[in-house]
Amino acid sequence: MNIDKEQFRKMFPNLAKEMEGEKAKIVVSSVRLDPQEGEKAFSKRFDGYNPDVIDFLRRCDNEKQAEEIIAYLEKREEITHEYASALRKQLKKKGVRSFGPKKEEAYYLRQAGYK
């Protein structure tokens, strides 16, 4: 289908402005005709993902919260006493951000492209 620029501007004025202004570019890597199939493929990034202690520590705002997480997981035997000791040592020496940048609310939704 061939359309000249003027006809395109009349039919799609906002899209034409975006294309000419180079403001909002979105890369389309694939096209699916079945929306349910597309959603399934897109959301598989975190399918079955189970956060570990580091994921929880990255949500903490301060050392007190991080210590509570470590103690809780150690008490439930989800981490060993040795690993908990190593985490506490790192926490005291380097601080809570040494485990990585803070994971804000809806982190996984943003990573999966939903927000």
pLDDT in tens, 76-112: 999 999 999 999 999 999 999 999 888 887 776 667 6
Predicted TM-score (pTM) above 0.85: no
| Concatenated DSSP letters of 58-108 | TT-SSHHHHHHHHHHHHHTTSS-HHHHHHHHHHHHHH-GGGG-S---TTHH
Listed by start position, the domains of the chain span: 5-46, 53-111
Question: Distance between alpha carbon 94 and the CA centroid of its chain, in Å?
Answer: 24
pLDDT in tens, 27-64: 655 556 666 666 665 556 666 777 889 999 999 999 99
Distance between CA 65 and CA 82 in Å, rounded? Answer: 20
